[in-house]
Amino acid sequence: MLSRIHSYLLAGVDAERCEVEVDLDESGLQKETIVGLPDAAVKESLERVRSALTNTGYAWPIGRLLINLAPADVRKEGPAYDLPIAVGLLSASGVISPRDTGGPIDVRRAVLAGELALDGRVRPIRGALAVASCARDRGLPAVIVPKEIASEAAVVREVQGFGVGSRGELVGLLRGQIEIEPEPPPDLTVLLNEASAPVDFGEVRGQEAVKRALTVAAAGSHNALLSCSSHGPGNAQ
């Protein structure tokens, strides 16, 4: 039984596609494996997902479980894959069946990201705006993220951002058992006027060479010109 869930990975400030494939073989020996260059936080996702599911009334499947994070040659970091792994596992085991549900979201056409607590709560992650941008670029109509960052995802008006606070809300949404309205797009003018903190390089993920160049330019009162490179996302000249 195989399921595929859309997620994302960060490359600097940009998001790239990541497909979470969950293969469950109930006839195989009990074993769980994550492949696709996961870091320690991603490898630990299995234990968080296991506790989140069993503590909220779902049995952990018996058999060989293989989780592949594609593309396999790019390193995956952080706990954002908890949510897509959990949904992929529930889909592979038949708990969630996108073909039969009457919910507002087809899980096959949504991008998912979020960290799971051991009691099934969904914790916020970084990069909600990148998640929504990734969904828009791939022509997918919806994102499902932690409730606390759903408003950030709603900045991208071409996709609908749904926020969930627990594993129960997530399954209820996908099954059509509960109604969750998509987050309305925020008024960016109001947000900018209310912002009190100055822009800080600490909020920029990666791009160390660019930040150093700007620091040197500011220290010497030099002019600076930044332009995007066509050689790949996240690069600058």
Residue 187 lies in a domain: no
Q: Same structural domain for residues 90 and 16?
A: yes
CA dist., res. 16 & res. 130, Å (int): 9
Calculate what percentage of the chain has a pLDDT beyond 70: 86
Q: Same structural domain for residues 170 and 215?
A: no
Q: What is the pLDDT of residue 236?
A: 41
- Banded pLDDT at 11 (limits 50, 70, 90): confident
Q: What is the pLDDT of residue 228?
A: 64
From the CB of residue 80, how many other CB atoms can be counted at a distance below 10 Å? 28
Mean pLDDT of 43-67: 94
Q: Same structural domain for residues 204 and 171?
A: no
Q: At which residue do the structure tokens 């936080």 appear?
A: 41
CA dist., res. 13 & res. 38, Å (int): 19
Q: What is the pLDDT of residue 209?
A: 87
Residue 191 lies in a domain: no
Q: How many domains does the chain have?
A: 2
* pLDDT tens figures, 148-193: 999 989 989 899 999 999 999 999 998 888 889 999 987 767 766 7
CA dist., res. 28 & res. 47, Å (int): 20
Give the residue with greater pLDDT, 195 vs 4.
4
Q: Cβ distance 93 to 69 under 8 Å?
A: no
Q: Same structural domain for residues 108 and 212?
A: no
Provide the residue range defining the domain that includes 123.
2-175
Mean pLDDT of 20-36: 93
Q: Same structural domain for residues 15 and 86?
A: yes
Bridge partner residues of 162 (DSSP): 144
Mean pLDDT of 11-37: 89
Q: Same structural domain for residues 37 and 144?
A: yes
Q: What is the pLDDT of residue 232?
A: 46
Q: What is the pLDDT of residue 229?
A: 56
Write down the pTM of the prediction: 0.79
- List, in order, residues 6 or more apart from 93 with CB less than 8 Å away: 1, 24, 61
* pLDDT tens figures, 71-83: 999 999 999 999 9
* pLDDT tens figures, 32-48: 999 999 999 999 999 99
Mean pLDDT of the chain: 86
Residue 186 lies in a domain: no
Any idea how long the chain is?
237
Residue 183 lies in a domain: no
Bridge partner residues of 11 (DSSP): 14
Q: Same structural domain for residues 163 and 207?
A: no
3 pLDDT above the threshold of 70 = yes
Residue 232 lies in a domain: yes
